[in-house]
Amino acid sequence: MADSGRKGRRADDNKALARLSIWRRCVYAVLTMAIAVTVFLIMAEVVCRILPVNQGLRAQPVNAETPIFRFAAVRTSTWSEGWDFAIVNTVRVNNAGFVNDHDYDPAATTPLIAVIGDSYIEAGIVPFAETVQGRLAAEAGDGGRVYSFAASGAGLSQYLVWAAHAADVYSPDAFVFTIIANDFSESLWHHGRSPGFHHFERLSDDTAELRRVDYAPSTARRLLRRSALAMYLVTNVKAHTAFDVDVQALGDDDQRWVGNIAAEATEQQLDDFQWAVDRFLARLPEVTGVTADRIIIMADGIRPQLYQPQDLVAAEDSVWAVMRRYILSAAAARGHVAIDLQDAFIADYAERGQRFEFPTDSHWNGLGHAVAADAILATQTYREIFAGSASP
């Protein structure tokens, strides 16, 4: 009996040792994996700090105390697109918090034109000297100034806020507003509320209230901004959208899309878009403080359809085509300078055969900005403001 008891205890001990051995192996395996992952992440972080990872522009808090959307001031960063860095650029945010190689001076008295828009004017993808505002500034020379106010995702409503800010602080002699296809929907409160921006809320009496969406970068966001690997995954790879499948977005040849919006819309949507245009134009004289002829409304062309006549004909009834005609006609009726880039793009394409956007991005490339800048330079408004100040 004693022997059998000892054998039983030894068996229990052996089982306990076996369980402990398994537990130790599991712990060792987990630790080994954790160390391997940590080493990999450290190496990936080091590599990403060497590569031209998109570092972002770092939007600043927007609230009652700081209601103007802008970026971290006096900062130079790398802007890149694609997992393979297909497009790389160096971007400077100036003393006023906007993407521009020149600082803004409220005390300066030389002629000034303000260029306002969204990502097309923010133009992180294009070297500053090749942008609309860069080209205009170079043409004006030391005797004039061109200040830009822009950020990706802004719409007509936000343009009014920047215009009022520019008028209050810098007193521009003229304004240029660059209009693209999604500017109408991004102005509407009920459509989408981009953090940091102002939107039109349509009230019961059909008037508009400008409503601000406050923004404050979270702790997690501020920490992620410090990691090159995290920025690569978010801004270059766009890993956070990996599972966002849009069955409508089938490429440039998909006729359901014209510009960067759906080709078709309901009557209510079109009414909302036109209502936003009317409210935008109605407020321009008050917020800018300049005469009607000192306000330039410049609309993008219908791209990529404009490269093929048959595609352009097919797109003439699209939402973007309808809204382009509407805002340009309404602007001209109010005495503003209306620039339709469509004809300029078509004429330039017939001569050079070069497209106005990047192969992997629909924003204007340097040539697109050049055509837009030339259209502004050709206006009587520009010539009057900068008479005698142009570079030799």
CA dihedral (107, 126, 236, 151) positive or negative: positive
User: Higher pLDDT residue, 217 or 65?
Assistant: 65
Q: Are residues 32 and 180 in the same domain?
A: no
pLDDT at 3: 58
> Based on the domain organization, do 135 and 216 belong to the same domain?
yes
**CATH number of the domain residue 137 falls in:** 3.40.50.1110
179 and 218 share one domain: yes
Residues 333-347: pLDDT tens digits? 999 999 999 999 999
Looking only at the bridges linking them, the beta strands covering 257-258 and 261-262 are antiparallel
Residue 260 lies in a domain: yes
On whether both 171 and 42 belong to a single domain, the answer is: no
pLDDT band at 11 (very low <50, low <70, confident <90, very high): low
Same domain (yes/no): 135, 212: yes
Tokens standing for residue 121? 């004017």
Residue 12 lies in a domain: yes
Do 152 and 5 belong to one domain?
Answer: no
Q: How many domains are there within the chain?
A: 2
What residues contact 365, with CB distance under 8 A and at least 6 apart?
126, 355, 356, 357, 358
Asked whether the predicted pLDDT for residue 170 surpasses 80, the reply is yes
Q: What mean pLDDT is predicted for residues 156-178?
A: 98
Distant-in-sequence, close-in-space partners of 262: CB < 8 Å, separation ≥ 6: 248, 256, 319
Residues 6 or more apart whose Cβ sits within 8 Å of residue 85 = 51, 52, 236
Kindly tell me if the per-residue pLDDT of 23 is higher than 80: no
Residue 30 shares a structural domain with residue 177: no
Same domain, residue pair 340 and 196: yes
- Over the stretch 351-369, which tens digit does the pLDDT of each residue have? 999 999 999 999 999 999 9
Least confident of 24-38, 95-109, 140-154, 206-220: 24-38
Give the domain range for residue 112. 75-385
Domain assignment present for residue 59? The answer is: no
Residue 166: which of 153, 183, 149 has the closest Cα? Answer: 149
At 17, the pLDDT band (50, 70, 90 cuts) reads: low
Does one domain contain both 33 and 170? no
| pLDDT band of 288, cuts 50, 70, 90 | very high
CA distances from 41 to 37, 56, 126, 233 (A): 6, 21, 31, 12
Domain assignment present for residue 70? The answer is no
Residue 302 pLDDT greater than 50, yes or no: yes
Q: State the pLDDT confidence band at 110, using cuts at 50, 70 and 90.
A: very high
- Do 245 and 357 fall into the same domain? yes
Same domain, 212 and 258: yes
Instruction: List the structure tokens of 146.
Output: 């061109």
On whether residue 57 sits in a domain, the answer given is: no
